[in-house]
Structure 1
Amino acid sequence: MLLTNIKLATEQVSFLQAVRQGLGQQQGLFFPTSWPKLDIEKLLAMPFVERSSHILKALIGEELSFAEVETMVTAAFTFPAPLNPISDSISCLELFHGPTLAFKDFGARFMAQALAKAQQGKNTTIVTATSGDTGAAVAHAFYQQAGVKVVILFPKGKISHLQEKLFTTLGHNITALAVDGDFDQCQALVKQVFEQTDLVKQLNINSANSINISRLFAQVCYYFEAVAQLPVAQRNQVVFAVPSGNFGNLTAGLIAKALGLPIKRLLAATNANDTVPRYWRSGQWQPKPTVATLSNAMDVSAPNNWPRIEALLAQGVIQRSDIETFAVDEDDTQLGVKQLAQAGYTSEPHAAVAYKALKRSLADDEVGVFLGTAHPAKFKEQVENILGTPIGLPETLARSAVEQSLSVDIAADFAALRLILTALEPA
């Protein structure tokens, strides 16, 4: 299957070419213009890895054999995505059972497999921005992978201490840059890197944000896994609530629906950085300065993946009525964490934002699934402050918490970033 640059339709590439490039010309995102037809009932009867292999093979097309895709998926998806009931009508899809305790482990680990296929023996420098969980997932997925250097930009002081420690303590082929700015500035710097064609060519630069199609495709799979765990009688009434920052997760859910998965609708749940809910109401795209919130991984005012959602709408495979948007304020976020605790479930601010959106929208005859995108211990301080009770640290976090950060402070300045990139030792 060929993927088309959303901004420049004449640029068409294969899946592995898109994995290698990351972005197209004019910073355009690669995306399919048509979607395969799948036997949904047959897929839902399969185990997670087998089903995911079939889904990804259908999305990738003939470039890779089914056996190759299955090998990649088997290596990447080594942990479950369980559906944990909260009440009779609401469940949490727990996506934090991977090595860095966040949903991005699915996409990052599959991208590592895809890039190994696409590299063709060339060295690669991955430059990516993180608002929290991407950094750790990408760092661990590519840690000590031959021929790969990883440079991660994060907003200094604006992600949780434990999130930061998961990727700033690794060293080796991982360089972490603490940017004096917010996430949108980090993301803008990454975009500037891709505008420098000489630099991109010299260092064979790629990105591991959800702008890379391999990460996005991988995320489609856990929506199928959620529906597969529901009783058959409930599968046509499911509503997904998605904590939304850069909007890759919502895009993946919409792709799952476009492929035929019986999702009734998807709720895009943001925090105070509410560019999309305001746009959905007014039709005016007006990003405001990013504000810091409890759900910091969603502190994004200019979500990169929104053009892909517009493309799905333009293609007619998704309708406006398939999407609802909500902005959840800080008080309601804290209330969501407390209400989940009262129901016997310890969660964290991002999932609480989605939970509150679901409570606002869900009808009596519907079944709701909100995405648990990170282990609550990754936001230990926030959760303990809200609930007034201590929570334990999983071994992964406890180990990294005591290690020394190796991050380098940097101004939100492209010249400074370029100097660092060009000074990197060959992978």
Structure 2
Amino acid sequence: MNLYNIKHPEQQVNFAQAVRQGLGKDQGLFFPATIPQLSNIDELLALPLVERSQKILAALIGDEIPADKLNAMVKNAFTFPAPVAKVAENIYALELFHGPTLAFKDFGGRFMAQALATVRGDGKITILTATSGDTGAAVAHAFYGLENIEVVILYPKGKISPLQEKLFCTLGGNIRTVAINADFDACQALVKQAFDDEELRQAIGLNSANSINISRLLAQVCYYFEAAAQLNTEQRQNLVVSVPSGNFGNLTAGLIAKTLGLPIKRFIASTNANDTVPRYLQTGEWQPNATVATLSNAMDVSRPNNWPRVEELFKRNGWQLSELGSGALNDAETEIALKAQYAQGYLCEPHGAIAYQVLKDQLQTGETGLFLCTAHPAKFKESVERILGIELPLPDALDKHNKLPLLSDEMDNDFATLKAYLLK
């Protein structure tokens, strides 16, 4: 598999290099030089999730990884289902929270851990990543206990849900967690600074597990096929997919699935008050505001890292950005949407509620709507209970960690301090 740096196309790497390196020169994102067009979509959709995903990832990655190794990577990573549930007439939810950390990030995090273990080579590896909520848990659990791999996760102090924090800040061992006294964009900026520091990169074998890492992105492509496989042929032909969007990795994966040949009519990027992309699509001007904290904290991102990949795909495929739907909800509107879902008999959480409502508002006659449910409602227990006036039992995976003490360090938004911390 050949990939190029979007900022510096002359920098080209193979899949193994892209996985190990994470980012390219000048913080550029790696992107596949070619994406094949799959001719046997109906045959693929008839297969079980793991077998289908093995074929999709083999088509994307090529023969760089032997088939038996790649098949084992997928089988070890995708050990849980992604069911589709009917929510309303012509509207369905793709539930991506049935993995070990109850969030969609389990797909990408677990596959990346398998990929890195396969292509790592010799020497120390330090995974440095920033999280606005769910990435931290998925990465921590995917890499926990792996030999010679250290993981350092930065997150904005007080700006993720207490249960999200407990899920990845109670592990210890090779997992270190740091609460930064700033917002998520500042955490992400610290990660980028670290990757720009060549001395630091070499000293600790720096890598990232954010959705900037191509292995995570490719894994996410597979669940769009899984969603389509659970719909009938007529529904697939007019499928509109609403993606709750923060860093825009999830939408990028969906667009890659469409490029491969999955019949998705159009996508909708659904955001909260951090609405840089919806405003950009309306005005043509890229004007990020300061990040604001919302009920849907995993989407509290004003400068989405993956947006250059979205634009690259649209340019390469000859698509118009005007074809991409978008919408944004504030917290009050999010609460109304969550209540509306619950009144129809579907229990959701703020991110899924936004994706549902924006989809419902934009769905046209004859179309089938699908929105992504990216996390289990219990991960947002406090807000969901308050909004819906119910009591949510904790799933075992959350209850176990909720009883453990936090092991996080605290740090100001200062790169010199972070660098010393990473080197010690």
**Does residue 87 of structure 2 align to residue 51 of structure 1?**
no
SS at match of 2:176: strand
Separation of aligned partners in 2, 1:296 and 1:234: 32
* Aligned position for 2:20: 20
Give runs of aligned pairs for residues 334-345 of structure 1, distance below 5 A: 334-345=335-346
Q: Tell me how far apart the structure 1 counterparts of residues 66 and 59 of structure 2 sit (CA, whole Å).
A: 10
The aligned amino acid for 1:65 is P
- The more displaced of 61-70 and 14-23 is 61-70
Shift of 1:147: 1.1
Hey, what's the Cα distance between the residues in 1 that align with 2:331 and 2:199? Answer: 44
Structure 2: gaps spanning 5 or more residues: none
The structural deviation recorded for 1:321 is: 4.5
Partner residue, 2:98: 97
One-letter code aligned to 2:41? I
User: In the aligned structure 2, how far is the partner of 1:412 from the partner of 1:55?
Assistant: 41
Give the C-alpha shift of residue 318 in structure 1.
3.8
- Give the conservation status (yes or no) of the 8 Å contact 2:131–2:155: yes
User: Structure 1: how far apart are the matches of 2:72 and 2:244?
Assistant: 30
Q: Please tell me whether residue 194 in structure 1 is matched to residue 191 in structure 2.
A: no
State how far apart, in whole Å, the 2-side matches of 1:280 and 1:321 are.
Answer: 7
Contact in 2 for aligned 1:254/1:318 (Cα 8 Å): no
Task: Write the mapping of 1:64-75 to structure 2, written as runs, cut at 5 A.
Answer: 64-75=65-76
Give 5+ residue unaligned stretches, structure 1. Answer: none
User: Where does residue 6 of structure 2 map in the other structure?
Assistant: 6
Query: Aligned equivalents of 2:364 and 2:5: distance in 1?
Result: 38
Q: Tell me how far 1:284 sits from its aligned partner.
A: 0.8
Aligned counterparts of 1:62 and 1:36: Cα–Cα separation in 2: 14
TM-score (norm 2): 0.99
1:102 Cα deviation from its structure 2 partner:
0.1
1:81 counterpart residue number: 82
Residues 258, 318 of structure 1: 8 Å contact kept: no
One-letter identity of the residue aligned with 1:106: F
Note closer, same or farther for the CA distance 1:322–1:49 as it changes in structure 2 (3 Å cut). farther
Match of 1:143 in 2: 144
- Correspondence list, 1:218-297, <5 A: 218-297=219-298
Q: CA deviation at 1:32?
A: 1.3
Distance 1:221 1:317 in 2: 23
Partner of 1:328: 329
Question: What corresponds to 1:125 in structure 2?
Answer: 126
Contact 1:6 1:29 in 2 (8 A): yes
Partner SS for 2:142: helix
1:32 maps to what in 2? 32
Query: Residues of 1 paired with 2:131 and 2:167: CA distance?
Result: 12
2: CA distance, partners of 1:319 / 1:112 = 35
Whether the 8 Å CA contact 2:4–2:32 is kept in 1: the answer is yes
SS at match of 2:241: strand
Residue 336 of structure 1 contacts residue 353 of structure 1 at CA under 8 Å; is this kept in 2?
yes
**What is the rounded CA distance, in whole Å, between the counterparts of 2:329 and 2:264 in structure 1?**
23
Q: Distance in 1 between matches of 2:186 and 2:62?
A: 36
1:346 corresponds to 2:351: no
Deviates more, 1:186-195 or 1:315-324: 315-324
C-alpha separation between the residues in 2 aligned to 1:47 and 1:309? 28
- Contact residue 281 and residue 321 of structure 2 kept, 8 A: no
CA displacement 1:34-93 (0-9 Å, x = unmatched): 211212111111110010011111111120122221110000000000001112301110
Quote the offset at 1:317 in angstroms.
5.2
Structure 1 position 148, deviation (Å)? 0.5
Report the identity percentage.
60
**DSSP 3-state at the match of 1:379:** helix
The answer on 1:405 being equivalent to 2:386 is: no
How far apart, CA to CA, are the structure 2 residues paired with 1:135 and 1:125? 14
Amino acid at match of 1:123: K
SS at match of 2:212: coil
- Residues of 1 paired with 2:315 and 2:33: CA distance? 10
Supply the AA of the counterpart residue of 1:167: F
Partner SS state of residue 64, structure 2: coil
Secondary structure in structure 2 of the residue aligned to 1:61: helix
Matched length: 423
Answer yes or no: is the 8 Å Cα contact 1:57–1:65 preserved in 2. no
| Higher mean C-alpha displacement, 210-219 vs 356-365 | 356-365
In the alignment, residue 32 of structure 1 is paired with which amino acid? P
Q: Does the aligned pair in 1 maintain the 2:53–2:222 contact within 8 Å?
A: yes
One-letter identity of the residue aligned with 1:87: A
* Residue in structure 1 matched with residue 387 of structure 2 by the alignment: 386
Aligned partner letter, 1:290:
T
**Alpha carbons 2:281, 2:322 under 8 Å: kept:** no
Shift of 1:143: 0.2
Query: C-alpha deviations, 1:119-178, integer Å up to 9, x for none?
Result: 113220000000000000000000010110000000000000000000100000000000
* Aligned counterparts of 2:123 and 2:89: Cα–Cα separation in 1: 52
CA-to-partner distance for each residue in 1:291-316, whole Å, 9 max, x for gaps? 00000000000000000011111112
Contact residue 258 and residue 317 of structure 1 kept, 8 A:
no
* Distance in 2 of aligned mates of 1:140 and 1:316: 36
Deviations 1:179-222 (A, max 9, x none): 00000000000000000001101110000000000000000000
Contact 2:184 2:300 in 1 (8 A): yes
**Is the CA contact (8 Å cut-off) linking 1:264 and 1:322 kept in structure 2?**
no
- CA deviations on 1:371-427 (whole Å, 9 max, x unpaired) are 00000000000000100111110001111111000000100100110111001xxxx
TM normalised by structure 1 equals 0.98
Q: Determine helix, strand or coil for the equivalent of 2:63.
A: coil
Flag as ranges the 4+ runs of structure 1 deviating above 3 A. Answer: none
Cα distance in 2, alignment partners of residues 362 and 256 from structure 1: 21
Root-mean-square deviation (Å): 0.8
